């Protein structure tokens, strides 16, 4: 009987592992700066299931961006394993990491990183150029991504003609255009006022409800609460990992906030 239970337990664990979008095992990252070594990640263990919405918090210098760069295949751990959709990518060559990045991951940054002389539509279309897709289909995908973030009416606007919140929505559309399975956002609301930040969170909540796995870095508690799980970093280690019992719906919070004069 005990063996059967133990077996069932084992199977459950296996199923959970296979269902993990992200599994990080004992990851360390040491930066070597001349004579100095900075031990930025000190044994991170994390499992994020498909469809989760996770916020990573922690003070400046605690290792959040270092982890995001590894999760985003922009950097490799000094030691430890990183399974992305079940495949250990920790020590893959850079070229293979780049291919995985383009296919499976979408990124959103604090600074939007849009091309200034390029319209919203063209900015969003850009990542599809690396995929082998026909131009009609590229256009269709870019339009659809902009519709998803509520910018169907702004296709031909340049970044300078858009508000900060709209620019970040363009950046989210750009991150989504190749239909990634995971969206990684590092302080996406860091440059935005509080109402616009909630607007961005309502878009992320909607995308998450549609099945997208989201990992978001923020140092603001009120932003983190919109996620369904909060992981807190300190000194390169996970200090806390907790579920949010009932995240507020950003769309509802938004409805109760005073409107801006101009969108
Ligand atoms: P956070 O995003 O939480 O503010 P980071 O991951 O950026 O933290 O940084 C963690 C630690 O690693 C800090 O001590 C930082 O100074 C150091 N660090 C980050 N990037 C580099 C780098 N490229 N070279 C050397 N040290 C770095
Ligand atoms: Mg950072």
Q: Which atom of ligand 1 is nearest to the CA of 58?
A: 3
pLDDT at 259 over 90: no
- Probe ligand 1: pick from 66, 69, 217, 239, max atoms within 8 Å of CB? 66
Residue 213 has pLDDT above 90, yes or no: yes
Instruction: Please report which confidence band the pLDDT of residue 9 belongs to, taking 50, 70 and 90 as the band edges.
Output: confident
Residue of the CA atom closest to atom 22 of ligand 1 = 31
Q: What percentage of the chain reaches a pLDDT higher than 90?
A: 84
**Residues with a CB atom less than 6 Å from ligand 1:** 31, 33, 38, 40, 58, 60-66
- For residue 261, the model assigns a pLDDT of 56
| Ranges of each domain in the chain | 11-255
Query: Given ligand 1 and candidates 40, 42, 78, which is best to mutate, with the most ligand atoms within 8 Å of its CB?
Result: 40
* Structure confidence by residue, pLDDT tens digits, 107-142: 999 999 999 999 999 999 999 987 778 889 999 999
Give the ligand with the smallest distance to the CA of 44. 1
Q: What CATH superfamily classification does 11-255 receive?
A: P-loop containing nucleotide triphosphate hydrolases (3.40.50.300)
The two structure tokens encoding residue 257: 């906030």
**Predicted structure pTM score:** 0.91
Which pLDDT tens digit goes with each residue over 16-58? 666 799 999 999 999 998 999 999 999 999 999 999 999 999 9
CA 224 / ligand 1 centre spacing (Å): 21
Alpha-carbon span 170 to 108, nearest angstrom: 10
Helices (H), the chain: 2-18, 64-71, 94-104, 120-125, 135-148, 164-176, 194-209, 221-224, 250-255
Average pLDDT in the chain: 92
% of the chain residues with pLDDT over 70 = 95
pLDDT digits (tens, 9 = 90+) for 136-165: 999 999 999 999 999 999 999 999 999 999
Nearest-angstrom CA–CA distance, 112 and 182: 18
Tell me the pLDDT band of 262, cut-offs 50, 70 and 90.
low
């Amino acid at each position: 009987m005990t063996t059967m239970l133990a077996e069932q337990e084992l199977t459950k664990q296996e199923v959970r592992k296979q269902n993990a979008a992200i599994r990080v095992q004992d990851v360390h990252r040491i930066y070597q700066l001349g004579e100095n070594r900075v031990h930025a990640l000190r044994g991170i263990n994390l499992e994020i299931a498909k469809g989760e919405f996770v916020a990573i918090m922690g003070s400046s210098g605690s290792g959040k961006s270092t982890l995001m760069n590894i999760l985003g295949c922009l950097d490799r751990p000094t030691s430890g394993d990183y399974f992305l959709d079940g495949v250990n990518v920790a020590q893959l060559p850079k070229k293979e990491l780049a291919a995985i990045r383009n296919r499976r991951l979408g990124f959103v940054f604090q600074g939007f990183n849009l091309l200034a002389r390029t319209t919203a539509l063209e900015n969003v279309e850009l990542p599809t150029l690396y995929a082998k897709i026909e131009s009609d289909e590229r256009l269709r995908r870019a339009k659809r991504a902009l519709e998803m973030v509520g910018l169907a009416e702004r296709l031909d606007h340049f970044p300078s003609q858009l508000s900060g919140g709209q620019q970040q929505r363009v950046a989210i559309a750009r991150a989504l255009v190749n239909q990634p399975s995971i969206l990684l956002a590092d302080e996406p609301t860091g440059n935005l006022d509080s109402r616009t930040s909630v607007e961005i969170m309502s878009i992320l909540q909607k995308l998450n409800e549609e099945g997208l796995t989201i990992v978001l870095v923020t140092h603001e508690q009120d932003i983190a609460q919109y996620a369904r799980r909060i992981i807190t970093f300190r000194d390169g280690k996970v200090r806390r990992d907790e579920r949010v019992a009932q995240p507020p719906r950003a769309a509802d919070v938004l409805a109760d906030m005073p409107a801006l004069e101009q969108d």
